[in-house]
């Protein structure tokens, strides 16, 4: 007696062309991509983003140079990142609402701790989670993350939704960069000697993701205080 194979409505790897889950790709001595590491937590993380944005809406921040960022941002956790013509900084209150940032979701905290351990970067207790939302065309120009008081602590980044090309450079702005595609569920962890590397994100391509529609989200967990 023959049976039809089960009908697959979608196979994420086939649709997105993403590498297999569970691999640890080294980008530097202390920088790694953990492919698919966040996939099991993705529904919780997306629910957490929606909860956070209800209290602290996404906004296009102004840079000290007077430009408007193409990525929209918000934060959760004890400290949130903000930028205005006076500079970049972490604050305990959201300048848009004058209320505290929404709490750090347990799913984010747990994932950041597990990712740091998986990359052998030790215990990590973040106190800030920056939430970036990219729409097609949005980009992040080459920069270093150096507004955090604890430059010894690693940073954990979680990608959700549409894929993006991440630029991973060196310690000088002009150093050559490698391009790393990041897919839904990928986690990047970097610390130690790689903590201050220049990095950026190329303009997001048009697309529709089965879970996030026309957006890419990136959560970066940091020890800012």
Query: What residues line the site for ligand MD3 (CB under 6 A)?
Result: 31, 130, 132, 140, 145, 157, 166, 168, 188, 190, 194, 197, 199, 201, 218, 220
Strand ranges of the sheet holding 199-201, from the earlier edge strand across to the other edge: 140-143, 199-201, 164-168, 178-182
Q: Which stretch binds Fe ion (CB under 5 A): 4-12, 66-74, 100-108, 138-146?
A: 138-146
Structure tokens at 223: 């020890």
Q: Does 145 bind Fe ion (CB under 5 A)?
A: yes
Total number of residues shown for the chain = 225
Is 145 or 194 the residue whose CB approaches Fe ion more closely? 145
Please say whether the dihedral angle defined by the alpha carbons of residues 15, 21, 23 and 26, taken in this order, is positive or negative.
positive
Is 199 or 209 the residue whose CB approaches ligand MD3 more closely? 199
Site string for Fe ion, 85-124 (x = CB under 5 A): ----------------------------------------
Strand ranges of the sheet holding 216-222, from the earlier edge strand across to the other edge: 24-28, 31-34, 187-190, 155-161, 216-222, 128-134, 72-76
Structure tokens at 10: 């979608």
Structure tokens at 154: 């690693």
Smallest separation, CB 49 to ligand MD3 (Å): 13
Is 198 or 215 the residue whose CB approaches Fe ion more closely? 198
Smallest separation, CB 190 to ligand MD3 (Å): 4
Smallest separation, CB 15 to Fe ion (Å): 28
Q: How far apart are CA 47 and CA 50, in angstroms?
A: 5
Q: How far apart are CA 137 and CA 192, in angstroms?
A: 32
Residue nearest to ligand MD3 (CB): 218
Smallest separation, CB 110 to ligand MD3 (Å): 19
Q: Which residues are near Fe ion by CB under 5 A?
A: 145
């Amino acid at each position: 007696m023959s049976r039809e194979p089960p009908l697959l409505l979608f196979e994420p790897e086939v649709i997105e062309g993403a590498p297999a889950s569970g691999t640890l790709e080294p980008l530097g001595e202390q920088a790694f991509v953990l492919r698919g590491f966040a996939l099991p937590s993705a529904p919780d993380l997306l629910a957490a983003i929606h909860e956070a944005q209800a209290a602290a809406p996404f906004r296009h921040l102004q840079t000290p140079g007077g430009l408007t960022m193409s990525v929209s941002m918000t934060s959760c956790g004890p400290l949130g990142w903000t930028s205005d013509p006076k500079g970049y900084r972490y604050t305990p209150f959201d300048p848009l609402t004058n209320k505290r940032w929404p709490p750090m979701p347990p799913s984010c905290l747990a994932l950041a701790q597990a990712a740091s351990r998986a990359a052998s970067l030790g215990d990590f207790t973040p106190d800030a989670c920056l939430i970036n939302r990219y729409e097609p065309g949005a980009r992040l120009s080459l920069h270093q993350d150096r507004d955090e008081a604890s430059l010894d602590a690693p940073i954990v980044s979680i990608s959700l939704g549409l894929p993006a090309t991440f630029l991973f450079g060196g310690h000088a702005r002009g150093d050559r960069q490698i391009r790393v595609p990041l897919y839904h569920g990928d986690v990047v962890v970097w610390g130690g000697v790689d903590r201050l590397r220049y990095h950026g994100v190329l303009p997001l391509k048009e697309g529709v993701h089965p879970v996030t529609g026309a957006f890419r989200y990136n959560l970066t967990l940091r020890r800012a205080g």
